Amino acid sequence: MKVLLLLFTTLLFGCNQQSARQRGTQLNSVPDPHTLTDPSAAVVRHLNLELAVDFATKELTGKASWVIENLSNSKEIVFDTKNLSIQKVTIGKEEHDVKFALDKQDSILGSALRVPVEATTTIINIYYNTQPNAGALQWLAPQQTAGKQHPFLLTQSQPILARSWIPCQDGPGIRFTYNATVRVPPALMAVMSAENKQQRSDSGIYYFKQTKAIPSYLLALAVGDLAFQPIDSRTGVYAEPVTLKKAAYEFADMGKMVTTAEKLYGPYRWGRYDVLVLPPSFPYGGMENPNLTFLTPTVIAGDRSLVSVVAHELAHSWSGNLVTNATWNDMWLNEGFTTYFERRIVEEVYGVEEAKMQEVLGRQSLSAELADKGASNKDTKLKGELAGRDPDAAIGDIAYEKGYAFIRTIEEAVGRNKLDTFLRQYFDKNAFQSQTTEQFLVSLKSELLDNSKTLADSIRINDWVYQPGIPNNAPAVGSNAFRKIDSLVFKFRDQPLTELRQNVTSTNEKLYLISRLPVDLIPQELIALDKAFAFTNSGNAEIQTAWYVVAIKHGYRAAYPAIEKFLTRVGRRKFLVPIYTELIKTAEGKTWAKEVYKRARPNYHPVAYNTIDALLR
Ligand code: BES
Ligand code: ZN
């Protein structure tokens, strides 16, 4: 029996010579406040998922078969669920029915699914279906897609929404491999955060395999009228057929980005790197789903000026997907490092000046957020304090830009070469594992700073990580192109806009200009600016958002039809929040915002409408 069991386990896990570390089975012992499970008792190792996608009922119906390991002879294994209907749970290949319990629902965390197990239990089969309002899922009508012919389904699992479409142990410190079989209507194609086939299947059945151990927040599925176009031998684009060409043009540098990233921080370990261009209601700019980054179509500006989002999501293949924040309190490890890595890729592929401009724009938005939150706000610490709160509510520039500025501070202190060597080792040593902030700081101090207290003090590690605000040893940022714009804006009222028009041509420059405009613009000036730069009808969503905020601030009515169109078409939260926030500052604006929102809301993902609901309440 023992031998059989061993053989069985070997078959399940593939090669038994792989170490626990390689399999990603080493657990981080730190408690995670956002999962109801206890992975140190009994933990998941592999998922066999079977799903049927029903657009008519907006339901996923499925069976999640989990291969588990009962680590401490536990009497039960716990899964996270949120708004799932559980039909039945069975044990083993033989599928013995078992009596499960579903705890009372917590409004943030959902409900724990408790399944009794024995020491030797290795397979748990959960039969379930999702609810139409599942937090991770967005069901789009044909009208909401680019092609307008077929419906579309997309998922967004980060940070704690995977549990709303798959019963799982939903913490970033818990990793597993997965296989999936997904049945979709025959005209549609399914893709996942795994190896993808690039082709439509006549049967409407798709098989997926993710052979690298990933955390649950990287589970992802999209279903729609999709086609694939390669960029080079290991990169490519999935998009609706009408978008495919434009997308392939925009992301032509993807292959180069991967090669560049590898030169910086070591081999890309996931096989292929593809991107999926989604309908505009996708709530984020990008999501680093393994093998297949999910992207908003708003990064397709036509001139490749917003492709740093791709560099960012690609960088997560190291900082995030390979070495993962142990809990959402450590999210700056994911996003801060990725922002740093992103700008290093941008610097290599597009030049130093481009990277510097993006750095300045990043620092600007960090300063704005600090001013808005107040520099003593505890939510401005790098290490998050999110227990009892929805980790989604805390997403902002702190993890990204304060995290970035911290790493830049370290870079200044030790030099780029030493930092790069350290990071390469760090990704290698911790591959397919998670890290807490504290674990990272131990490596930093011992491996990069050679335990030098003087160096650690000069960097002011503790202030950066555990204190609010931003320490005053943050490296200065600046760009020559932007300095030129400053000097021209200084003379803004003394001369026609011709010189400004000649010097402000790129997307970055336009964004910077908009951020530096006088605060007391008069109507004629807004009209003149719009005439010179055509901001209102720009096809660049970053420029549109920045300009619309200025337009609203100054009651520039000519922009309102375009703003309304934008708000009803685009569902990217990063754009919606500043526009609605500016609108609701006046009573009149708030009334209009609510009117527009009534029409726009059906087009938003739950991630976006939950935020805007709270804003407009
Ligand atoms: N992983 C994030 C998106 C995310 C973070 C989703 C936290 C849910 C919780 C992704 O990598 C990201 O940072 N996207 C950015 C783009 C990036 C260039 C700053 C976005 O969506 O705007
Ligand atoms: Zn990111």
Residue 28, SS3 per DSSP: coil
Q: Is the pLDDT of residue 209 over 50?
A: yes
Atom of ligand 1 nearest to the CA of 217: 8
Starting from the CA of residue 401, give the closest ligand. 1
Atom of ligand 1 nearest to the CA of 313: 11
CB 247 within 8 A of CB 209: no
Running DSSP on this structure, what letter comes out for residue 601?
G
Structure confidence at residue 16 (pLDDT) = 38
Q: What's the gap in Å between 452 CA and the centre of ligand 2?
A: 31
Q: Is the pLDDT of residue 105 over 60?
A: yes
H or E element, residue 86 = strand 85-91
Q: What's the gap in Å between 336 CA and the centre of ligand 2?
A: 8
Closest Cα to atom 18 of ligand 1: 309
37: how many CB neighbours lie within 10 A of its CB? 23
Q: What's the gap in Å between 589 CA and the centre of ligand 2?
A: 32
Rg for the chain, CA atoms, rounded: 25
H or E element, residue 182 = strand 175-183
Q: What is the C-alpha separation between 488 and 495, in angstroms, rounded?
A: 10
Structure confidence at residue 3 (pLDDT) = 42
Q: How confident is the model at residue 12 (pLDDT cuts 50, 70, 90)?
A: very low
Cβ of 395 below 6 Å from ligand 1: yes
Annotated active-site residue in 59, 313, 359, 401: 313
Lowest mean pLDDT among 5-9, 140-144, 220-224: 5-9
Starting from the CA of residue 287, give the closest ligand. 1
Q: Which residues of 75-108 are buried (b: 16+ CB within 10 A; e: fewer)?
A: ebbbbbbbbbebeebbbeeeeeebebebeeeeee
Closest CA to 25 of 40, 36, 35: 40
Q: What is the C-alpha separation between 570 and 178, in angstroms, rounded?
A: 32
- Mean pLDDT within 354-383: 96
CB 97 within 8 A of CB 126: no
Active site residue 217: no
Cβ of 313 below 6 Å from ligand 1: yes
Running DSSP on this structure, what letter comes out for residue 517?
S
Q: Is the pLDDT of residue 2 over 80?
A: no
H or E element, residue 324 = strand 323-325
Region of 364 on the Ramachandran plot (φ > 0 left; ψ -120 to 50 alpha; else beta): alpha
Q: What is the C-alpha separation between 441 and 152, in angstroms, rounded?
A: 43
Q: What is the C-alpha separation between 444 and 430, in angstroms, rounded?
A: 13
Q: Is the pLDDT of residue 432 over 50?
A: yes
Cβ of 316 below 6 Å from ligand 1: yes
Closest Cα to atom 10 of ligand 1: 287
Runs of H (alpha helix) within 163-205 = none
Structure confidence at residue 393 (pLDDT) = 83
Q: What is the C-alpha separation between 615 and 583, in angstroms, rounded?
A: 11
SS (H, E, C) 470-482: CCCCCCCCCCHHH
Cβ of 286 below 6 Å from ligand 1: yes
Structure confidence at residue 25 (pLDDT) = 57
Q: Is the pLDDT of residue 7 over 90?
A: no
Render pLDDT for 517-570 as a digit per residue (tens, 0 to 9): 999 999 999 999 999 999 999 999 999 999 999 999 999 999 999 999 999 999
CB 482 within 8 A of CB 509: yes
SS (H, E, C) 113-162: EEEECCCCCCEEEEEEECCCCCCCEEEECHHHCCCCCCCEEEECCCCCCH
Residue 175, SS3 per DSSP: strand
Lowest mean pLDDT among 3-12, 107-116, 256-265, 371-380: 3-12
Cβ of 574 below 6 Å from ligand 1: yes
Cβ of 285 below 6 Å from ligand 1: yes
Q: What is the C-alpha separation between 134 and 149, in angstroms, rounded?
A: 24
Q: How confident is the model at residue 28 (pLDDT cuts 50, 70, 90)?
A: confident
Residue 87, SS3 per DSSP: strand
Structure confidence at residue 15 (pLDDT) = 40
Across the chain, which distance is largest between two alpha carbons, in Å?
89
Tell me whether residue 375 is exposed, middle or buried, using C-beta atoms within 10 angstroms of its C-beta: 0 to 12, 13 to 18, 19 or more: exposed
Q: Best of 154, 287, 337 to mutate for ligand 1, by most ligand atoms within 8 A of CB?
A: 287
Active site residue 400: yes
Confidence (pTM):
0.96
| % of the chain with per-residue pLDDT over 90 | 94
Atom of ligand 1 nearest to the CA of 335: 13
Cβ of 312 below 6 Å from ligand 1: yes
Starting from the CA of residue 334, give the closest ligand. 2
Q: What's the gap in Å between 316 CA and the centre of ligand 2?
A: 7
- Mean pLDDT within 71-89: 98
Cβ of 336 below 6 Å from ligand 1: no
Render pLDDT for 578-588 as a digit per residue (tens, 0 to 9): 999 999 999 99
Q: Are strands 227-230 and 221-224 parallel, antiparallel or unpaired?
A: unpaired
Q: What's the gap in Å between 70 CA and the centre of ligand 2?
A: 33
Annotated active-site residue in 128, 217, 238, 400: 400
C-alpha distances (whole Å) from 264 to each of 153, 258, 343, 346, 348 are 36, 10, 12, 12, 10
- Mean pLDDT within 465-487: 97
